Structure 1
Amino acid sequence: MKIAIVTDSTAVLKEETKNSDCLRVVTVPLIIDGVEQNDLAPAEYYEKLKHTKNFPSTAQPSIGEMANIYESLAQEGYDEVISIHISSGISGFCNTLKANIDDLSPIPVHIFDSLSTSLPMGAMVDSAVEKAKTGEDAASILDWLEKMRIAQCIYLVVDDLQHLVRTGRLSNGTALIGSLLQIKPILKFDEEGKIVLFKKVRTAKKAYKEAIDLVLEELELYKMKGWVPEIGIAHTNIEDRAADYAKILEEKTGYPVRIVDLGNVIGTHTGEKTLGFGIMRKA
C-alpha cells in the first residue's frame, strides 16, 4: 500500500520531511495590498506590514489546485492520501475539502483536521511522512495522528490581541479587557481547534513564565502516561527571545527544545512578537 501525505503551508516541517517524495504542500495564499506574496522572509514581512495600505489577509487554497495534487498522486501510483490541514476552528479549508472530496480525487483521500497549525500540525505531518515511508497503511497512520492530536498543546503569548480580533480569530471583548488592564493573556487551541483565552497574566515576563510552567505540567502528564514528548517554541520575528526561553525550558525539562518561526500566515493573525510554547507526542 503506497500512501501519500498532503498538507498546507501553515505546517512547520523539519527539513528531512520537506524533501520527502510522498509529501505535497499546498500554499495558503497571503495577500498584501491585493497582491499574493507567499515567499517573504519573516523580517521582510513584518517590515512590510508597517507600510501596507490595508491589513494583510489570507485565503483558502483553491479546490482546483487540490484536485490537481490528488490527481497527480494517483498517476504516480499512490493508493491513498492522508491530507492534514489547518484547524477547522480558524479556517474553513478542512470543511471545504470534506464537502467536495468526492469530486476531487480518483483515489481515497482521508481529510485530517489537525485542530491546530504551525508547530503541532507540523509534528503530525513529520510523523505521518515517516510512517508512510516505512510502509504503514492509512488506518494505522490515522490512528497515530488521532493520538498525537489528543496529546498536543501549544500556549500562545501574544503581544497585541487586536490582530486576532481583526482577522476574526478572537472576540473583541477579550482584546478590550486585555488592553484596559494591561494583561498579557495566554491563549491556546481548545477541543474544537479554536483559539481561546486560557489565562490572564500581568506583564509579558510573567506570561512567559506561566507558559513554561504549563508546559512542565503537561510534561508530567506525558510521563505518567508513558508518552515521549517533543518540545518546541514558535515565534514571530523574535528569535533571540525564543532562544532565551528555549534554554530555560531545556534546563527545566532535560529535553532539547526546537525553535521555529510561526510562519507569516499565522503571524498575520497573531501579530509580531508572539511566542508559542508547544509540547507534542513523539511516541
Structure 2
Amino acid sequence: MPNIAVVTDSTAYLSKETLDKYGITVVPLSVVFGEEAYEEEVDITTDEFYKKMSESEELPTTSQPVMGTFLETFEKLGENHDAIISIHLSSGISGTYSTAVTVGETVEEVDVHCFDSEVSCAPQGYYVIEAAKMAQDGHSVDDIMTRLSEMRESMRAYFVVDNLNHLHRGGRLNGAQAIVGSLLKIKPVLHFENKLIVPFEKVRTAKKAVNRVYELLDEDAAKGEPIRATVIHAQRPEKAEEIRNHLDQKYDNLEIDISYFGPVIGTHLGEGSIGIGWYKQKD
C-alpha cells in the first residue's frame, strides 16, 4: 500500500478537525497590513482579519509561501512517505501552485505531484479531502490524480460581492465601472474562468444575484445526481445558514456544507461576500 501525504495551502480553509482526521498538511499564505505580514489561520484569525481590515485606512495585500517553506514541508514529509500530492488554489490568482511545482521538482527524497485546483476556498478543499480519503484507502497516486481531474469537470463556484472597491483595487473593475456599479447597486456574479476570477454576469441587487446562482446550481442539481455543495460567506453566517436551509428543502440529492472566505481570499472579495460551490459526487 503506497504511503501518500496530502498537502494544501491555507486558502482551502479546512477545519482543524478535518486536517487532523485525514492527516493533511497546510502551507499558509499571508496577508500584509503595511509592513506587517500575518500567516492566515496561524498569526491572524478570520474574525481578527475582518476587524483589522475595517479599521485600516489601506486595504491589505496578500503574499504566497516562499520556496523555503515548501522545501522544508516536502523534505519532512519525504522522511515517512513514498509520494506527496500537493493541491493548491488556482494558478491564475496566485503563484503558490507554480512554487510548489518548482520546489517539488528539486526534492529527491520523495515524488511530488502537484494539482492546480483552478478554484479556491471550500471547492479547493473538496479536492484535498477526496485525495486524503483515497490515500487512506490505499489508492495509488495515479488513481487519485485521475479522480481529481474527474472532479474538476463538474466543479462550479460562483461568488457575489458586496463591495466593488475590492474588485477595483484588485484590477477586476476600472474606477468608472466601480463608481457606476456602486451607484446602480450592481452586484457582479463572479466565477473562475481560465483559472481567473472574472465577472460572469452583472445583476441588480444582491437578492437577484443570489437567485441567479440558484438557477445555475439548479441546472446541475435538477438532474438528480448526488452533489456536494458549500455555501461560503465573509462574516455573514446567518445568510449562509439561510441559503443552506433553502437548498436543503429544495433538493434531496445535495450534501450541503457551510464554509467561509478567510483572510487571503477575503482581501480580494471583501466582507459581506457570498459564494456557492458544488461538484458531482461519485454515485
TM-score with structure 1 setting the length: 0.91
Q: Does 1:131 align with 2:129?
A: no
Measure, in 2, the Cα distance between the counterparts of 1:105 and 1:236. 40
More divergent stretch after superposition (200-209 vs 266-275): 200-209
- 1:195 is matched with 197
DSSP-derived class of the 1:54 partner: coil
- 1:70 is matched with 74
Q: Alpha carbon RMSD of aligned pairs, Å?
A: 1.9
- 1:147 is matched with 150
1:237 to 235, 238, 242: 235
Measure, in 2, the Cα distance between the counterparts of 1:238 and 1:203. 17
- Deviations 1:77-99 (CA, angstroms, capped at 9, x unpaired): x1111100010111122123323
More divergent stretch after superposition (136-145 vs 212-221): 212-221
One-letter amino acid of the counterpart of residue 277, structure 1 = I
- 2:210 is matched with 208
Measure, in 1, the Cα distance between the counterparts of 2:260 and 2:228. 16
One-letter amino acid of the counterpart of residue 46, structure 1 = Y
In the TM superposition, what are the counterparts of 1:162-201 in structure 2 within 5 Å?
162-168=165-171, 170-172=172-174, 175-176=178-179, 178-190=181-193, 192-201=194-203
One-letter amino acid of the counterpart of residue 9, structure 1 = S
One-letter amino acid of the counterpart of residue 233, structure 1 = V
One-letter amino acid of the counterpart of residue 281, structure 1 = K
Measure, in 2, the Cα distance between the counterparts of 1:194 and 1:215. 20
Give the deviation of 1:14 after TM superposition.
5.0
In the TM superposition, what are the counterparts of 1:1-283 in structure 2 within 5 Å?
1-20=2-21, 22-37=23-38, 38=40, 39-76=43-80, 78-168=81-171, 170-172=172-174, 175-176=178-179, 178-190=181-193, 192-220=194-222, 223=224, 226=225, 228-254=226-252, 255-283=254-282
Give the deviation of 1:105 after TM superposition.
4.8
DSSP-derived class of the 2:203 partner: strand
One-letter amino acid of the counterpart of residue 28, structure 1 = L
More divergent stretch after superposition (248-257 vs 5-14): 248-257
Measure, in 1, the Cα distance between the counterparts of 2:124 and 2:209. 23
Question: Measured at CA, do residues 67 and 20 of structure 1 come closer, stay the same or move farther in structure 2, by a change above 3 Å?
Answer: farther
One-letter amino acid of the counterpart of residue 238, structure 2 = D
One-letter amino acid of the counterpart of residue 153, structure 2 = I
Question: Measured at CA, do residues 134 and 193 of structure 1 come closer, stay the same or move farther in structure 2, by a change above 3 Å?
Answer: same
Give the deviation of 1:273 after TM superposition.
0.3
One-letter amino acid of the counterpart of residue 59, structure 1 = S
One-letter amino acid of the counterpart of residue 260, structure 1 = S
Asked if structure 2 preserves the Cα contact closer than 8 Å seen for 1:231 and 1:279, the reply is: yes
Unaligned runs of 5+ in 2: none
Measure, in 1, the Cα distance between the counterparts of 2:198 and 2:131. 27
More divergent stretch after superposition (120-129 vs 247-256): 247-256
Give the deviation of 1:150 after TM superposition.
1.4
Unaligned runs of 5+ in 1: none
Measure, in 1, the Cα distance between the counterparts of 2:107 and 2:181. 44
- Paired positions, count: 276
Measure, in 2, the Cα distance between the counterparts of 1:20 and 1:68. 23
TM-score with structure 2 setting the length: 0.91
**Percent of residue pairs bearing the same amino acid type:** 36
DSSP-derived class of the 1:184 partner: strand
Asked if structure 1 preserves the Cα contact closer than 8 Å seen for 2:74 and 2:104, the reply is: no
More divergent stretch after superposition (238-247 vs 10-19): 10-19
Measure, in 2, the Cα distance between the counterparts of 1:180 and 1:52. 24
One-letter amino acid of the counterpart of residue 205, structure 1 = K
